[in-house]
Amino acid sequence: MKRRDPAGLAGGIGLASWLAFGVLSMVVIGHHGAPLLMDHGLLAWSVGHRPEVAVALARGLTATGTGVTPYVLVAVAGVLVGRTLPHRLLAAASGLACLGAGQALRYGVVTWIARARPPHTDWDTHASGWSFPSGHATTAALTAGLVILAVWVRAPRGRTTVCLVVGCWGALVGLTRVYLGVHWFTDVIGGWLFAVGWLGVCLCAAIRWPPTWFVTEAHSGTKE
């Protein structure tokens, strides 16, 4: 398969995701941040179904979608995907740069849209800042995507199961934000779309324009 083929696929998926995100953003702005679709219903269900054990589990899971945890996971994935030390360092640095830049870009978008969160009386955890797109959903989806890419490349045996587990983690982190009452469901959808869009752009760029020394060493390693 030629290099431009996976790059085009990644870029196409990223573009489609960002187009969908753009449409959803315009709808949110057009409704002045008011709840959409199933926002009210899912929030009402969450408020009415909060046993202590479920809330504790949700808080623990939601905590893994922010702070140092995503960066550690991405760095480890980068180290595992490389075959040589320079490759591992580059992969880890690239993954961290993708995650960090994505978070910064999302912060600019969330500040621009400035959607209010659900009523504070429905919250069951701490939250700050504006609501759309969800930061936890975006970060967890980006992290899951980067880890899945690393696992798919380096672990041919059992990789499907591992990727499913990682993907479920990324999705569940976003859903805990709705369950704990600090985000509307469309905030989470927006975070997922934003993450897939940004990941597609980063992956497309990495495939199309890899460092020359990286390609040279990769070919050398293949010959050996």
On whether residue 215 sits in a domain, the answer given is no
Tokens 């899971």 belong to 61
| Per-residue b or e along 71-93, where b marks 16 or more CB atoms closer than 10 Å to that residue's CB | bebbbebbbbbbeeeebbebbbe
On whether residue 52 sits in a domain, the answer given is yes
On whether residue 33 sits in a domain, the answer given is yes
On whether residue 179 sits in a domain, the answer given is yes
User: What domain count does the chain have?
Assistant: 1
Q: What are phi and psi of 203, to 5 degrees?
A: -70, -40
On whether residue 25 sits in a domain, the answer given is yes
Cα of first residue to Cα of last residue in the chain, in angstroms, is 21
pLDDT tens for the chain, 224 residues long, are: 444 577 778 888 889 999 999 999 999 999 999 999 889 999 999 999 999 999 999 999 999 999 999 999 999 998 888 778 888 888 899 999 999 999 999 999 999 999 999 999 999 999 999 999 999 999 999 999 999 988 888 777 778 888 999 999 999 999 999 999 999 999 999 999 999 999 999 988 888 766 543 444 444 444 43
Q: What is the pTM of this model?
A: 0.89
Segments forming the whole domain that contains residue 164: 7-209
Q: What is the CATH number of the domain that holds 98?
A: 1.20.144
On whether residue 138 sits in a domain, the answer given is yes
On whether residue 221 sits in a domain, the answer given is no
| Per-residue b or e along 153-187, where b marks 16 or more CB atoms closer than 10 Å to that residue's CB | eeeeeeeeeebeebeebbbbbbbbbbbbbbbbbbb
Q: What are phi and psi of 35, to 5 degrees?
A: -60, 145
On whether residue 223 sits in a domain, the answer given is no
